[in-house]
């Protein structure tokens, strides 16, 4: 980026920080303690305020109502938005909508873009992504049982999915299903198909209770059964058999989004930890922050957060230059590295707060519950470590 772009980005980040500090942080107490539906009017008003400030959908090109940021520029925005649980939602760049927008923009037909992408980009609807199956390990996205069989001009979809993120309240799903079972390559058996909601045969069984929270139409993880669910073949996204390739295309930038959001969480948790250590008295005149082990946690957290940020931004810039395929090893590396740092920083921050850290008086317990999944979704850490190690060892002649 040029110096001009750096200055422009810094100005944008300052505007976002100020909006979050004055308009969004005050909503967090209600977010933690009230049903989401009670907050909906206030959140809609904040979304309109984001639009009025010209900050809407920072990931999208300008011609589609966004800010036209590169991936590395959006990564910096994602960090700032990650400092609050509702930041990405208010700016219309929350998962899984952001990934669905990106693949619809890249692979959707003109009709699909008008019908599904455009209202999603405007923030009028929400969407979900339906890939993981309870009968098969999510770490192997080529192994699934859900099928889409042609019948006349339609696909008839049958299968069982779970952790279909944000299905409650969604206007459509993008489902991964086997359309080419005889393909010689396991990577060319599945396709991605758009399923409007409601459609007969799309059955939302339940919101899965995750760490004591069933979620809401803001964020949830649903179990879904597709039972003779019939949609037109024109709802195919991209070409038949390209489902895995499209998923991989989605996951590269998606891991940048997630990792920078996690770093934003780390920064907010770090600030909470330091602020509490600087004011909490253990005895008259003796602050918690005077204890050596607390000082070590602060120093280690600062180093780890800084290192994580540099690693992710380096990867994002490489994707901007040469595409995600050029840095597959780094994409796996940042995923497990930053997820691990996130867990460490949250755990230390809770420990510093003591029993207070377990309550909803701060955001820490919310993030501790909801972000433990960071080491599992988008591929468990263990799988990514194997990918990185094998890639390195191949350079030494180990196959």
Q: pTM above 0.85?
A: yes
pLDDT at residue number 215:
79
DSSP letter assigned to residue 208: -
pLDDT digits (tens, 9 = 90+) for 203-260: 999 999 998 888 776 788 999 999 999 999 999 999 999 999 999 888 888 999 999 9
* Contacts by 205-214, CB closer than 8 A, 24 or more apart: 207/167, 207/168, 208/162, 208/163, 210/369, 210/370, 210/373, 211/369, 211/370, 211/372, 212/369, 213/369, 213/370
Residue 354: pLDDT band (50, 70, 90) is: very high
Mean of the per-residue pLDDT values of the chain: 94
Residue 2: pLDDT band (50, 70, 90) is: very low
pLDDT at residue number 213:
85
- Cα distance between residue 201 and residue 188, in whole Å: 25
pLDDT at residue number 249:
86
**All domains in the chain, ordered by first residue:** 3-108 (1.10.540.10), 127-237 (2.40.110.10), 244-394 (1.20.140.10)
């Amino acid at each position: 980026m040029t110096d001009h772009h750096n200055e422009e980005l810094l100005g944008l980040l300052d505007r976002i920080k100020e909006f979050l500090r004055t308009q969004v942080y005050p909503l967090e107490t209600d977010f933690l303690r009230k049903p989401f539906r009670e907050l909906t009017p206030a959140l809609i008003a904040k979304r309109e305020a984001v639009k009025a400030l010209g900050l809407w959908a920072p990931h999208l090109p300008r011609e589609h109502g966004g800010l036209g940021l590169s991936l590395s520029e959006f990564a910096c925005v994602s960090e700032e938005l990650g400092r609050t649980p509702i930041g990405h939602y208010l700016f219309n760049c929350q998962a899984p909508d952001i990934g669905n927008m990106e693949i619809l923009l890249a692979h959707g037909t003109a009709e699909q873009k008008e019908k599904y992408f455009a209202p999603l980009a405007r923030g009028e609807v929400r969407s979900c992504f339906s890939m993981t199956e309870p009968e098969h390990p999510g770490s192997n996205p080529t192994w699934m049982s859900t099928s889409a069989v042609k019948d006349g001009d339609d696909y008839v979809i049958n299968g069982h999915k779970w952790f279909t993120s944000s299905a409650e309240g969604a206007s459509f799903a993008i489902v991964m299903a086997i359309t080419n079972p005889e393909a010689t390559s396991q990577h060319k058996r599945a396709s991605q198909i758009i399923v409007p909601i409601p459609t007969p045969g799309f059955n939302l069984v339940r919101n899965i209770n995750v760490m004591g929270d069933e979620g809401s139409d803001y964020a949830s993880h649903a179990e879904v059964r597709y039972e003779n669910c019939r949609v037109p073949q024109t709802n195919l996204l991209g070409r038949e058999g390209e489902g895995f390739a499209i998923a991989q295309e989605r996951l590269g930038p998606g891991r940048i989004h997630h990792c920078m959001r996690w770093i934003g969480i780390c920064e907010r948790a770090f600030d909470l930890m330091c602020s509490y250590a600087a004011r909490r008295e253990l005895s008259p005149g003796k602050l918690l922050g005077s204890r050596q082990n607390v000082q070590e946690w602060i120093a280690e957290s600062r180093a780890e957060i800084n290192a994580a940020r540099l690693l992710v931004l380096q990867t994002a810039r490489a994707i901007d230059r040469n595409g995600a395929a050029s840095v597959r090893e780094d994409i796996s590396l940042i995923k497990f590295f930053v997820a691990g740092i996130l867990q460490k920083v949250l755990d230390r921050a809770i420990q510093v707060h003591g029993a207070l850290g377990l309550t909803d008086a701060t955001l820490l317990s919310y993030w501790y519950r909801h972000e433990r999944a960071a080491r599992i979704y988008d591929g468990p850490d263990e799988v990514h470590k194997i990918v990185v190690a094998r890639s390195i060892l191949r350079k030494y002649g180990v196959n």
